[in-house]
Every structure is written in structure tokens, then in C-alpha cells.
Amino acid sequence: MTVAASTETPAFRIEMLWRDERYRSGFIQAITMMILMLAVAWLVNNAVENLAALGKTFDFGFLWQPANYDINQRLIDYTSRSTNARAALVGILNTLLIAVMGCVTATVIGILAGVARLSKNWLVAKLMTLYVETFRNIPVLIWILLTAAIVNTALPAPATYRGLETGPVVVTNRGIYIPTPNFGDGSLVLLIIFALSVAAILMVRAWANRRQEATGEQTPMLWIGLGLLVVPSLIGYILLGAPITLTYPELKGFNFQGGIQLRDSLIALWVALSLYTGAFIAEIVRAGILSVSHGQSEAAYALGLRPNRAMNLVILPQALRVIVPPLISQFLNLTKNSSLAIAVGYMDATGTLGGITLNQTGREMECILLLMGFYLIVSLLISAVMNLYNERVRLVER
């Protein structure tokens, strides 16, 4: 509007940048880019200045210094002399552990509760509604704290078992102890036998499917499968002279020793996250089943399918298309919610990298950036899986 050489030919004028379709998009994008870069530069500049004023540096050297603190639950070797990076790795593995465990149980609980909410049994349906509504409408942090309190106060302390005979599994308020398997001579053979029988089951199943398609006859896969799975391994176990033994947990000193311990913090977090996310999944499952039109199940029955086969072959495949995308975003939520582990003392990535390491080294910037990066990678991976699935099951439309 200010300059612009006005000649006879429609020459380029400044306002064409935002008036003219040809230039507008490029112009807007250039402006966006500029603002963005300026803002980033401004932020980085501020950070540099502030850090300099405080005499702090930005480097990740602290990762290779000893962490100096102990972590109770570790899936890999770790002592207080290990590096901060190792501590972070222990935490990351713990996060992944709780995420996987939680996703599995939440799905099971969710499916059961979702189906039960549609049950014809009034009492069961109402109880499930009560469960779903209470868990959905109360913050997950409160659930985690409450579950931890229940686990710690309701379960017996290890000392109460003193002098008593304990079985293979011991439940205490410090965790649940399960036997440790010891692999003796010949256990490798046993494992190979087991793997072979699994392979055999797969083969028989493929054969049964082909047979059904060809002749329409069904094979009782459940019994054959169970038999194939159990019998060879059992025979092998006896023949090889019981190569795999179990070490039962025993009360020694202050704690039970010799078993695998599922810590109370892990259990509290696991139960709380599973129940909380399970309530959401129940709603998703219910909506998914309801979304399959009634005509579909009627048509399946009309074809003479029995109820469970109608469910497996007709209703579920269609419901899954509706269920899976929100289900996976619930998995994502569960993984992110597991960061609340610090409230009950479960040492996940937030507890180690974003907790004690951050506190003891005072490297907020580096620790939080790493922490965010980790969660981001996990989320992106889960999203990628979801997109792949969506691609596969998408209805082909016009």
C-alpha cells in the first residue's frame, strides 16, 4: 500500500501477497516460518542468558557420573555406584514393565466389564455400571494413592508369617512373592519340547481350518490343543527327572528371600492403573458391541451359527474396528499415567531420571528434556501401531 510501482501492466504489488491466491499461501507460510524461527531464537537466547546468569551449563556429562542412590526394583544390574544413565535406564525399563502389565490387565478387565455391563443379569449390570462410573469420575492419582494405602494396610506384614509354614506364593504388604524357577540339566530339552508342541498346535490348527473350509466339518481344537500342549511336556518332565525346580520364598531376616517379588508399589500402581483404564476400556468395548447393528447378529443366527461363533465370526470383527483405535489411545494414556508412580515410590523413568537424578544433580533442563523425549518416542511408536492397524481394517469407501 505504500510503495508499489503502478505501471500499465498488472505488475506485482505488495498487497497481492495476501490478496492474490497465487502468492497468498507462500506468503502466509513464510510469515509463519519467520515468526516460528524468531520465537525459537528468542526462547533459546533467553535460556542461554539465564543459564549463564546462574552460572549453569547445558551438558549431559552428569549422565556418566555415579548416581549414588539405590533403586529397589531393577530389571538390569544396578548399584549405587552405577551411572545416572544406568539409573535412567532402570527407570525406563520399569516404566515399560508397568505399561505392558497394565495394558494387558486393563484390556482383560475392560472387556469383562464391558460385556458384563450388557449382561441380562440386572445386578451384575448395575455393579459394573457402579464400577465404571466410580473409576471414571475420580482422578487416577487419588486411585493410585488409595490403592497403595489399601495394599499397605490390608495385607499382612511379613513378620506375621514368622514361624508359620508358607506355601509357594506369599502375599505380604511388601509385595507378592512367587517361586523362582531353577533350570537344571535337561531343562533346555524340555523347553525345546514345549516349543515343538506349540508349533504342532499351530500346524494342526491350520490343517483344521483347511479341513473345515473343504468339508465343513469342525475339529475340537480346544482339546487337541490342550493335549498337545500338556502331554509331551509332562512326559518329558518326568523322563528327564524333573529338571526345572521351584525355589519357594522363605522368611529370612527382615524379608522373604528366594522368590520373585512383585513389590507393593508395583502392585498398587498396576491395580490402580488397570482398574482405572479398564473402566474406560469397558465403555469402549460396550460402545463397540452396541455399534454392530442388530441385523448382523440376527443374520448370523439365521445362518445357523451358534452364539459364540456368531460373536467370534460376525460381531467381534466388526466391533473391533470401532474398539481398537480408542483402545490404543487408552494404552497411550495408561503409559503416560504410569508417570504418577512417584506418588507411591515406584521407581519409573519419572522417579529416577526426572526425580532423584534431577534433584541430586540440579540439571533440570537436561533431565526433563530426556524424560520428555522418552515418553514422546513411546507415544509415537504406539501411534504408529495404531495407524498401521487403522490402515489395515479401514472400510474401503468411495
Partner 1 sequence: MKLTKLAIAAGVTGVCVAGAAHAATLDDVKARGQLRCGINTGIPGFAFTDQQGNWQGFDVALCKAVGAAIFGEPKVEYVSLTGKTRFTALASGEVDMLSRNTTWTYSRDTDLKLDFAGVNYYDGQGFIVPKALGVTSAMELDGATVCIQTGTTTELNLADFFRANDMSYEPVPIETETEAKEKFLANACDVYTTDASGLAATRSSYPNPKDYVILPEIISKEPLGPAVRHGDNDWGDIVRWTLNALIVAEEKGVTAENVKDMASAPGDDPEVNRLLGTEGEYGSMMGLDKDWAVNAIAATGNYGEIFDAYLGPDTDIGLERGLNALYTDGGILYSPPFR
Partner 2 sequence: MSDLHAETVPYVARTRFEPQPPPVASSGVLGWMTQNLFSSISNTIVTVLAIALILYMLPGMLEWAVFHSVWNASSIKECRDIITASFGEGATGACWAVIHERFGQFIYGYYPVSLRWRPDVAFLLLVVAMVPVLFRTMRPLAYAMGGLLAIKLLIALYDVMTGAKVEVLTGPTTVLAVIAGILALVVGGEKQRPYWIWFTLIYPVIAYFLLWGGLVLQPVDSSKFGGFLLTAVIGVTGIAGSLPLGILLALGRRSMLPIVRTVCVIFIEFIRGVPLITLLFVASTLLNYFLPPGTNFNIVLRVLIMVTLFASAYMAEVIRGGLAALPKGQYEAADALGLGYWQSMRLIILPQALKISIPGIVNTFIGLFKDTTLVSIIALQDPLGLMKPILANSTWNGIVWELYIFIAFMFFVCCFAMSRYSMFLEQRLRAADRR
**Binding residues vs partner 2 (CB under 8 A):** 25, 28-29, 32-33, 36, 43, 46-47, 49-51, 53, 120-124, 127, 133-134, 136-142, 145-146, 149, 336-337, 339-340, 342-343, 350, 354, 364-365, 368, 371-372, 375-376, 378-380, 383
State the nearest-atom distance from the C-beta of 258 to partner 2, in Å. 33
The closest alpha carbon to 97, from 336, 335, 330, 354, belongs to: 335
Binding site for partner 1 (CB under 8 A): 35-36, 39-40, 42-43, 53-56, 68-72, 80-81, 145, 148-149, 152-153, 157-159, 173-174, 252-255, 257, 264-265, 342-345, 347, 351, 355-356, 358-360, 362, 364
State the nearest-atom distance from the C-beta of 84 to partner 1, in Å. 13
Pick between residue 121 and residue 218 the one whose CB is nearest to partner 2: 121
- Residue 46 cell numbers, joined: 533467553
The closest alpha carbon to 244, from 179, 304, 331, 293, belongs to: 179
Which amino acid type is present at position 97? L
User: Considering CB distances under 5 to 8 angstroms, the limit depending on partner class, which of partner 1, partner 2, none binds residue 71?
Assistant: partner 1
User: Considering CB distances under 5 to 8 angstroms, the limit depending on partner class, which of partner 2, partner 1, none binds residue 80?
Assistant: partner 1
User: Considering CB distances under 5 to 8 angstroms, the limit depending on partner class, which of partner 2, partner 1, none binds residue 265?
Assistant: partner 1
Yes or no: say if 332 and 383 are a contact pair by the CB < 8 Å rule.
yes
Pick between residue 143 and residue 270 the one whose CB is nearest to partner 2: 143
Distance CA 82, CA 359 (A): 17
State the nearest-atom distance from the C-beta of 87 to partner 2, in Å. 17
Pick between residue 24 and residue 211 the one whose CB is nearest to partner 2: 24
Q: Residue 392 burial by CB count (10 A; 0-12/13-18/19+): exposed, middle or buried?
A: exposed
User: Considering CB distances under 5 to 8 angstroms, the limit depending on partner class, which of partner 2, partner 1, none binds residue 206?
Assistant: none
Distance CA 333, CA 327 (A): 10
Distance CA 114, CA 109 (A): 8
User: Considering CB distances under 5 to 8 angstroms, the limit depending on partner class, which of partner 2, partner 1, none binds residue 228?
Assistant: none
- What are the φ/ψ torsions at residue 89 (nearest 5 degrees)? -65, -40
User: Considering CB distances under 5 to 8 angstroms, the limit depending on partner class, which of partner 1, partner 2, none binds residue 61?
Assistant: none
- What are the φ/ψ torsions at residue 170 (nearest 5 degrees)? -120, 130
The closest alpha carbon to 114, from 97, 94, 93, 128, belongs to: 128
DSSP state, 66?
Answer: B
State the nearest-atom distance from the C-beta of 19 to partner 2, in Å. 11
E strands within 12-80?
none
- Residue 274 cell numbers, joined: 488397570
User: Considering CB distances under 5 to 8 angstroms, the limit depending on partner class, which of partner 2, partner 1, none binds residue 40?
Assistant: partner 1
